[in-house]
Amino acid sequence: MLRRLFFTLAIVASVLALNGTARADITILVPSSSEGDGLRAAAADYSKLKGTKVEIVQAPYANVFEQGANAGATKSGVFDIILMDDPWIPFFAENGHLEDLTPYFKSAGMEGPDSDFLSKSLAICRNPYNTGPYVCLPYVGNAQMFFYDAAKFKEAGVDAPKTWDDVLKAGKALTDKGGGRYFGYVFRGGQGNPVVADFMPIFWSYGADLFKADRTKVTIDTPEGAAAMKTFIALRDISPKGVESYNANEVGTALAAGAAASSINWPNWVATFEDPSQSKMVGKISYSTIPAGTKPGSSEIGHWTMGIMAASKNKQEAFDFTVWATSAEQIKISATRGNPPVRTSVFTDPELTSQEKFRHYPVLMEAIQASTPRPRHPKWPEIENAFGIELSKAVAGTITPEEALKNSQAAVEQITGLK
């Protein structure tokens, strides 16, 4: 009896699963985070409105890249749209996995995306950066901001930190006073993407960069790089023990629990910090653009963008959905669902900006406009890994900051074949 019941259930589940995928008009691969949840809700709205069945496949961050790359390499056409983190765009575009959107805009009688999108948000969707054809449209307007407890900083003698020196001054005082339970700064020091993501804004704010502007030379081991590294290590010294393994969750928890006074972070954490059920710091965290070093501060841009897979069998339907989902009306709805916008009209919409939970919008818009993309290179995942190992070693203290820069320079030169 039990066996028969189990067998019947298995058949029913298989039929339902096959039915679900077979009948979808568009299948979209998204991350299992607020960005993916937002697009899932939008897809449900679209299905009701247009009668088009949209299937959403959610996967953890790294798996979205892997599944997208696999689908692209095998030309399976299993996904019509992929919601991509912007540093992935060169990999997907330069390996022929993404559809050029130009003919679709033309056949729709459009020259391209409208001018309501922020210029920096559009620039990343062109490959090569800001000059090539559009291979995606921006959906979630992520760019790092500086999060800090203004009251604690004031206590430490800094009203509003404008430079990394201000952060260090207040941060050191707070860490010294914290007795090993409270810290002036916290960051993602985990090897790989986390430590690179939190180092890059500091790197840029001292005028350093990974490559020369024309991408002909690796420029990590420079005096500017050394100055950035000095500040980074000083920030490590005022951060919690174990920061070497921290990722976004640990940093977010430290801030929300009131155990750290400041950090670089992504705007989707604002909702957590302003939620009384998850945060002790509701209304107490201030947001600013990235502090300056020897140059003005610059955020790392981390937009989520919608690209159409080249092997899709439903490209026109996918394009129609992409245009609809990134329209001003839908981006505003997406903002109310917790995803930062990519359009000026939504950033400045009084209906939103009058609400406390959107008070960071002016800062975020400024941060996006002052942001820098991660180096646009198809081998970025490998470059990030190599750079992340050396940064991790420097943070852990197993090599000197100077050695970290020298080793990173050599490793990236080897990966890219540049000198």
Partner 1 sequence: MSISANATSTAPVRPGGTLERWAERHLRVLMLAPTVLILLGLTIFPSIYMFYAAVHKISPNPDVPWDFVGPGNFLRLLSDQQFHVALLNTAVFTIAAVTVEFALGLGLALLLDKYIRRMTFLKTVLMIPMMLPPIAVAITWKIIYEPQFGVLNEIMFRLGLPAQAWAGDVDLAMFSIIVADVWQWTPFIFLLMLAGLASLPVEPYEAAELDGASSWRQFWDLTVPFLKPVIAIAVLLRVMDALRLFDLVFILTGGGPADRTKVLSLYIYQVAYRFADPGYAAAISLFVLFATIILSTWFMKRMRLAE
Interaction site with partner 1 (CB under 8 A): 62, 65-66, 69, 72-75, 91, 94-97, 180, 189-192, 240-247, 250, 253-254, 257, 259, 379, 381-382, 385, 389, 392-393, 395-399
User: Minimal distance in Å, beta carbon 101 to partner 1?
Assistant: 19
For the chain, the straight-line distance linking the first and the last C-alpha, in angstroms and rounded, comes to 71
Q: Rounded to whole angstroms, how far apart are CA atoms 136 and 83?
A: 9
Q: What single DSSP character describes residue 218?
A: B
Rounded to the nearest whole angstrom, what is the least distance from the CB of residue 383 to partner 1 in the complex? Answer: 10
> Residue 94 or residue 413: which is nearer to partner 1 going by CB?
94
User: Would you say 113 or 240 has its CB closer to partner 1?
Assistant: 240
> Minimum distance from CB of 397 to partner 1 (Å)?
7
**Among residues 222 and 245, whose Cβ is nearest to partner 1?**
245
Report the residue number, 112 or 381, with the smaller CB distance to partner 1. Answer: 381
- Cβ of residue 267: shortest distance to partner 1, in angstroms? 23
CB of 256 to partner 1, least distance (A): 11
Please tell me the distance from the alpha carbon of residue 339 to that of residue 326, in angstroms, as a whole number: 12
Would you say 41 and 345 are in contact if contact means Cβ atoms under 8 Å apart? no
Provide the minimum distance between the beta carbon of 125 and partner 1 in the complex, in angstroms, as a whole number: 20
Q: Which residue has the tokens 């790359």?
A: 69
- Angstrom distance (rounded) from CA 261 to CA 104: 48
Whichever of 180 and 417 has its CB closer to partner 1, that residue is 180
In degrees, to the nearest 5, what angle opens at C-alpha 365 toward C-alphas 359 and 368? 135
Between 254 and 367, CB nearer to partner 1: 254
Can you tell me the distance from the alpha carbon of 362 to that of 47, in angstroms, rounded to the nearest whole number?
Answer: 33
Burial 279-310 (b: 16+ CB within 10 A, else e): bebeebbbbbbbbbbeeebbbbbbbbbbbbbb
In terms of Cα–Cα distance, which of 376, 339, 382 is closest to 361?
A: 339
Cβ proximity to partner 1, 43 vs 71, nearer residue: 71
Query: Sheet holding 54-59: strands in order across?
Result: 54-59, 26-31, 81-85, 304-308, 137-140
Amino acid at position 238, single letter: I
Smallest distance, Å, CB 389 to partner 1? 5
Q: Is the N-terminal amide bond of 128 cis, ω within 30° of 0?
A: yes
